[in-house]
């Protein structure tokens, strides 16, 4: 945790890492903002001033903290990483086009943090709002992104300011992948796609090798075993599953692959 001084003097290479700062002070004074982040910007990355900034008033440091018993503000980081991946607030431009630049988020008004309630500003633009969206300001309800937002974040990862982070070379350089892993091995991934994500009714597993097992579990570890018949395409019915994040592991004998998907 940083106390005083220039935060960027402590920055790790922005081309290699997402820097998340949690300062106690800025400019020698209490950090009295909530949080902010930079949209993808090559100049910010080149100047090594990119990242997410999360104030001590929300994570509980000192008498000036606004954190109260029973509150948790971890969704703030998710919200700010959304900005870092080029998402706007759902209430951007209010009821006017182009809104937040994502087609499947309904127009809404807003702009002030709502600590309670999931439907603040509902029907403010004559349509039901998406109050559970991480990019809204309904604090206690944040839990999802829309398909359009996921597509926009995925596109942001291919921008010059973000694309190196997940390159094979950088994953090896930062210790996230084995130096023995080749580009060919990455491309010859056994899983072609797991979709849709988020899902409402079914999740499809498209593979390019026959699996030995496919196991799906929820956050509490409860397991769903998918019956294997030697196919390369499997469909999991999730219509009756509770909303939340689910994790999958696909075993191919000599290797296995893991991931997650969201059920709305």
Which positions are catalytic? 80
List, in order, residues 6 or more apart from 158 with CB less than 8 Å away.
none
Q: What is the rounded distance in angstroms from the CA atom of residue 157 to the CA atom of residue 40?
A: 9
CA-based nearest residue to 93, from 103, 75, 107:
107
Cα–Cα distance between 82 and 62 in angstroms, integer?
28
* Cα–Cα separations (whole angstroms), residue 182 to 186, 248, 251: 6, 24, 20
Give the Cα separation of 82 and 92 in Å (integer): 14
Return d(Cα 263, Cα 261) in angstroms, integer.
7
120 sits in the region (left: phi over 0; alpha: psi -120 to 50; else beta) called beta
For 75, how many CA atoms within 13 A lie in the half-sphere containing its CB? 18
Whether the link from the prior residue into 260 is cis, omega within 30° of 0, is no
* Parallel/antiparallel/unpaired status of strands 233-237 and 202-207: antiparallel
Contact 212, 231 (CB under 8 A): no
Is 119 in contact with 191 (CB distance < 8 Å)? no
């Amino acid at each position: 945790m940083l106390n005083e001084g220039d935060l960027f003097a402590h920055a790790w290479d922005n081309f290699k890492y997402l820097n998340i700062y949690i300062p106690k002070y800025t400019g020698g004074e209490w950090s009295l903002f909530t949080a902010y982040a930079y949209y993808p910007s090559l100049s910010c990355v080149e100047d090594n001033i990119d990242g997410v900034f999360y104030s001590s008033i929300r994570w509980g440091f000192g008498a000036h903290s606004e954190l109260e018993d029973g509150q948790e503000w971890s969704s703030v980081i998710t919200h700010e990483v959304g900005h870092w991946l080029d998402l706007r607030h759902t209430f951007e431009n209010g009821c006017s086009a182009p809104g937040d630049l994502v087609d499947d988020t309904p127009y809404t008004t807003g702009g002030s943090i709502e600590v309670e309630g999931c439907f603040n500003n509902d029907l403010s633009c004559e349509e039901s709002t998406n109050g559970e969206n991480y990019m809204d300001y309904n604090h206690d309800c944040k839990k999802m992104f829309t398909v359009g937002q996921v597509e926009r974040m995925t596109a942001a990862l291919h921008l010059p300011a973000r694309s190196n982070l997940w390159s094979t070379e950088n994953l090896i350089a930062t210790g996230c992948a084995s130096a023995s892993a080749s580009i060919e091995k990455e491309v010859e991934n056994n899983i072609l796609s797991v979709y849709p994500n988020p899902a409402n009714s079914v999740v499809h597993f498209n593979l390019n090798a026959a699996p030995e097992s496919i196991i799906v579990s929820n956050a509490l570890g409860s397991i769903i075993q998918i019956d294997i018949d030697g196919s390369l395409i499997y469909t999991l019915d999730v219509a009756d599953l509770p909303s939340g994040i689910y994790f999958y592991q696909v075993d191919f004998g000599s290797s296995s692959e893991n991931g997650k998907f969201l059920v709305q």
